[in-house]
């Protein structure tokens, strides 16, 4: 990356941006570096519409920074590029985010495809989604809150605004719908919590 893009006395943000196929044989990525002499500096995600206006099409932006100088910008590139790829895998083309906004998903995953995300969601949460939709239930909200409260049913009940017995009943219903209590184990719980992260990012 040319050093002239990032003078050492300026703070910078960088963002790999995806452009549609009409700019090449496949979706292509370019690097955008935004500079500013004072905080806060412009964000690649908030400037995404302006980039889109310049190109005449929606763009997907993964952001990194701030940083000072060319070497720090180079160090930011892998994380920002991973963020852009994850947004695409999550079906969030035309959006922008920083890797920190993707939570554990952004921290742990290097590359994942849309098909892999869908398979994980179907395997772990698919039955719960269908049950919630067909019965106007809140099993996914309950399991998410239960994990967030450290497997503490009374705390989850307070957070959900329901009686603790309602939470216990819902947890038993989750066992029944999934035909397994494996989600309560450390390994099964980790997979379900990862799926819940994807579920949140997909805004289902």
Which of 21-25, 85-89, 151-155: highest mean pLDDT? 151-155
Please check whether residues 24 and 90 belong to one and the same domain.
yes
Question: Which of 108, 135, 155 represents a domain boundary (last residue)?
Answer: 108
Comparing 171 with 33, which gets the higher pLDDT? Answer: 171
Number of domains within the chain = 2
Give pLDDT tens digits for 89-122.
777 777 777 777 776 666 556 556 677 788 889 9
Residue 42 has pLDDT above 90, yes or no: no
When the pLDDT of each residue in the chain is averaged and rounded to a whole number, the result is 75
pLDDT computed for residue 136 by the predictor: 94
Question: Which of 108, 138, 172 represents a domain boundary (last residue)?
Answer: 108
Please check whether residues 137 and 79 belong to one and the same domain.
no
Please check whether residues 84 and 149 belong to one and the same domain.
no
Residue 17 has pLDDT above 70, yes or no: no
Please check whether residues 124 and 152 belong to one and the same domain.
yes
Please check whether residues 130 and 186 belong to one and the same domain.
yes
Please check whether residues 127 and 192 belong to one and the same domain.
yes
pLDDT computed for residue 36 by the predictor: 55
Please check whether residues 95 and 120 belong to one and the same domain.
no
| Confidence label for 51 from pLDDT (cuts 50, 70 and 90) | low
Identify the domain containing residue 181 by its residue range: 114-201
Give pLDDT tens digits for 137-195.
999 999 999 999 999 999 999 999 999 999 999 999 999 999 999 999 988 888 899 89
Please check whether residues 102 and 121 belong to one and the same domain.
no
SS (H, E, C) the chain: CCHHHCCCCCEEEEEEEEECHHHCCCCEEEEEEEEECCCCCCCCCCCHHHHHHHHCCCCEEEEEEEEECHHHHHHHHHHHHHHHHHHHHCCCCCCEEEHHHHHHHHHHCCCCCHHHHHHHHHHHHHHHHHHHHHHCCCHHHHHHHHHHCCCCHHHHHHHHCCCHHHHHHHHHHHHHHHCCCHHHCHHHHHHHHHHHHHHHHCCC
Question: Which of 42, 73, 108 represents a domain boundary (last residue)?
Answer: 108
| Confidence label for 23 from pLDDT (cuts 50, 70 and 90) | very low
Please check whether residues 80 and 98 belong to one and the same domain.
yes
Please check whether residues 102 and 123 belong to one and the same domain.
no
Please check whether residues 83 and 169 belong to one and the same domain.
no
Please check whether residues 177 and 103 belong to one and the same domain.
no
Residue 204 has pLDDT above 60, yes or no: no
């Amino acid at each position: 990356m040319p050093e002239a893009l990032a003078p050492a006395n300026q703070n910078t943000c960088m963002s790999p941006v995806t452009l549609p196929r009409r700019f090449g044989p496949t979706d292509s990525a370019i690097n955008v570096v935004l500079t500013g002499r004072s905080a806060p500096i412009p964000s690649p995600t908030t400037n995404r519409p302006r980039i889109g206006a310049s190109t005449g099409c929606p763009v997907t932006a993964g952001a990194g920074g701030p940083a000072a100088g060319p070497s720090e910008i180079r160090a930011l590139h892998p994380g920002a590029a991973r963020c852009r790829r994850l947004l695409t895998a999550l079906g969030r083309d035309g959006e922008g985010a920083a890797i920190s906004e993707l939570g554990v998903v952004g921290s742990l995953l290097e590359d994942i495809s849309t098909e892999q995300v869908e398979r994980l969601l179907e395997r772990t949460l698919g039955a719960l989604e269908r049950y919630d939709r067909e019965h106007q239930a809140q099993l996914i909200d309950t399991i998410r809150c239960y994990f967030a409260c450290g497997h503490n049913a009374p705390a989850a009940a307070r957070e959900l605004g329901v009686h603790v017995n309602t939470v216990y009943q819902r947890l038993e219903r989750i066992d029944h719908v999934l035909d397994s209590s494996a989600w309560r184990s450390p390994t099964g719980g980790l997979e379900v919590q990862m799926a819940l992260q994807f579920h949140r990012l997909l805004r289902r």
